[in-house]
Amino acid sequence: MADDPFDLEPELEAGVPAVAAPGEVDEAEWLQRMRHSAAHVLAQVVLEMFPEGKIAIGPPIDTGFYYDFDLPRPLTPEDLSQIQKRMRKEMGRNHRFVWEEISVDEARDRFADQPFKQELIDQFSLDSDRLGICTHAAFTDLCRGGHVESTRQIGPFRLTSVAGAYWRGDERRPQLQRVYGALFATKEELDAHFQRIEEAQRRDHRRLGRELDLFAFDELVGAGVPLLLPDGAIVRQEMERLIRELQEARGYREVWTGHLARGELFRRSGHLENYSDVMYPAMREHDEHRNGSEDDEDGEAYFLKPMNCPLHMTLYNHSLHSYRELPLRYAEYTTLYRYEKSGQLSGLTRVRSLTQDDCHIFITPDQITDEVARVLELVQTLFTTYGMPNFRYELSLPGEGGKYVDDPQAWSIAVTALRDALDKAGIDYVEQQGEAAFYGPKADLFVSDVMGREWQLSTIQLDLIQPARLGCVYVADNGERRTPVVIHRAIHGSFERFMGILIEHYAGAFPLWLAPTQARCIPIADRHQEWADEVARELREAGLRVDVDDGNERMQAKIRNGQRRKIPYLLVIGDREVEARSAAVRVRNGEDLGAMPLDQIREMLTQLKASRANEPA
């Protein structure tokens, strides 16, 4: 798939045929060619159904293909079914794909009634006076090649959905209808793909968040601003408790810096120059609500902070530090504010107000390797605790076209130092150009959840630029004042995004230490209520989160309710349990542990909580 989907397909390598027979290319390339060819058949069929329609782009993607259309009316599920049937019929007719090059003028004539193709022709003609087209049946598309020989060679597929997509991703351009299809080499792989989709839907944190009363969004508050309900707040508190414990044991010191600061701070740090497109102004110049007096700093703009680094560096500057004090590790759990386009917002995983376990570590240059290793060890410990031990790293470097502070020497030193630190720590990584922060390179962590999906979470950034711009210094062993290196580091990424990932990773069935309600007492009848209340009270005194279901439903209904709420342990209490001062213990997965004395239950649950074990769901 092309890095730029508006560039259609990438240029084929020299000697690779535009149309290939089986065996002429490897399996991965053959799959991409099937997907590419299927996109052409999709466009053919849609234009036959809607002759007045306009076609845009149709690249292969990781799971299949899509094509964007401007059509006279919205497509319906019935349309999608009809399109799929007609595509299969066309594929069975064994149309051959014929690729050729034509002049730019001829291309303009061929696509005279297709405005999106005309725009692409304008783009491609800057590099070449000849353009590729591919024809099958009576359909021709602008194309750089990369097809199977005929439509009968296209693998098993299924159309999946229709979504809105702005032309070139620009909200100011026409909104098109994007038809998605899934395509794999075999039917078994296609079926497995849809099984994964069904499981992902079952685990969707947005649905589970509603069902389990974890979080909410409200139009009056605003899009992208999540609100945590009490149970969601408990999960968040436990996440914070874990990272606090880990950091305190490793010498981090907690600070607090509020929510806004003067624009001048962000100008000096470089954020206004390189990051202003995602920053929220908190006070505009000459705000009509201000009285213009001298002591309110008339005309000064304030911003909600998008990052903590300039404020942590300001705290660092509060006193003069010796090299003997370094590393100095500042930690903060604070909400940041960053503008995201409305179309990019997605539950907790893409928000406008986000809370980070944000840390900035001030070090000397010769401490880089050891300190990066310490951060990597912290990452390993945290994600192993969550039962997510599979991860990989990318070294994100500056690239063409990005916004970066112009300081080649600082960049060279930082890139070399971070690369060396990862190498000495024995970390395998791949390098990615163009993904660095504007002030320095970074190591990005990609974690795999229980379904094998990858998430970009932690980031470790090396910065030699902002500390100098903000005047940070330390006194070296020879008495000279030098600029410290700063490691920017967020382990969870953001608590909101990571909570959404955790909900899906556990399918809402949090391990006991994270669960909002860790156990529920279920009295079978009213006469068992007193002992149920006593059990809950004693377990709460032991530090456990326990409630009592004192409703009027029957026992089995109460058990089902507890399982739906994904409460780890259900403690059923009847006559025998009252007499024996015990409870019948059921695990939410249906396992029956039988009757246990209260002391044994308390010991089992408190040990599970303390160990942060990932017990059965």
- If you ran DSSP here, which 8-state letter would residue 169 be given? G
Q: Which of 54-68, 435-449, 583-597 has the lowest average pLDDT?
A: 435-449
Kindly indicate whether the domain formed by 519-611 is annotated with CATH number 3.40.50.800: yes
Per-residue model confidence (pLDDT) at position 322: 97
Given a cut of 50, is residue 2 above it in pLDDT? no
CATH 3.30.980.10 fits 5-186, yes or no: yes
Of 609, 610, 562, which is closest to residue 587 (Cα–Cα)? 562
Q: 299 pLDDT exceeds 70?
A: no
Confidence of residue 203 (pLDDT cuts 50, 70, 90): very high
Q: What is the mean pLDDT of residues 176-189?
A: 97
Predicted confidence at residue 289, as pLDDT, reads 45
Residues assigned a catalytic role: 309, 338, 356, 358, 360, 442, 488
* Domain made up of 227-258+305-505: CATH architecture: 2-Layer Sandwich (3.30)
3-state secondary structure of 231: helix
256: confidence class by pLDDT, cuts 50, 70, 90 = very high
pLDDT, residue 512, reads 96
Q: With a cut of 70, say whether residue 309 has pLDDT above it.
A: yes
Residue 320: pLDDT band by 50, 70, 90 thresholds?
Answer: very high
Alpha carbons 518 and 512: distance in angstroms, whole number = 6
Amino acid at 55: I
Distances from the Cα of 185 to the Cα of 33, 35, 95, angstroms: 11, 10, 19
Strand pairing of 582-587 and 546-548? unpaired
Distinct helix (H) and strand (E) counts, the chain: 18, 31
> Does residue 332 have a pLDDT over 80?
yes
Q: Cβ neighbours of residue 1 under 8 Å, at least 6 residues apart?
A: 32, 59, 60, 61, 62
Question: Region 245-258: what's the mean pLDDT?
Answer: 95
Can you give the pLDDT at residue 296? 45
Task: Please say whether the beta carbons of 68 and 165 come within 8 A.
Answer: yes
Q: What is the mean pLDDT of the chain?
A: 90
Indicate whether 522 pLDDT > 80.
yes
Kindly indicate the confidence band of residue 617, based on its pLDDT and cuts at 50, 70 and 90. Answer: low
Q: Which two tokens stand for residue 260?
A: 């806004």
Domain range summary for the chain, segments of one domain joined by +: 5-186, 227-258+305-505, 519-611
Rounded to two decimals, what is the model's pTM? Answer: 0.80
Q: Which residue has the tokens 């007492």?
A: 521
The model's confidence at residue 283, banded by pLDDT at 50, 70 and 90, is low
pLDDT higher than threshold 60 for residue 525? yes
Distances (CA, A) of 33 to 39, 69, 314, 376: 10, 21, 55, 40
> Using one digit for the tens of pLDDT, what is the confidence trace for 136-147?
999 999 998 999
Q: What is the pLDDT of residues 393-439, one digit of tens each?
A: 998 888 876 777 778 888 888 889 889 988 988 888 898 888 887 88
Report CA-CA distances (Å) from 365 to 13, 48, 308, 369, 560. 43, 65, 22, 9, 59
User: In the predicted model, is pLDDT for residue 7 greater than 60?
Assistant: no
pLDDT score for 130: 92
Q: Which of 366-370, 385-389, 599-603 has the lowest mean pLDDT?
A: 385-389
Q: What is the DSSP string of 525-551?
A: SGGGHHHHHHHHHHHHHTT--EEE--S
Would you state the pLDDT for residue 88? Answer: 97
Cβ neighbours, 10 Å, residue 173: 12
Condensed to tens digits (0 to 9), the pLDDT of residues 436-475 reads: 878 888 888 988 887 778 888 888 899 988 999 999 999 9
pLDDT score at 438: 81
- Determine the Cα–Cα distance for residues 355 and 491; give it in Å rounded to an integer: 12
What per-residue confidence (pLDDT) applies to 291? Answer: 42
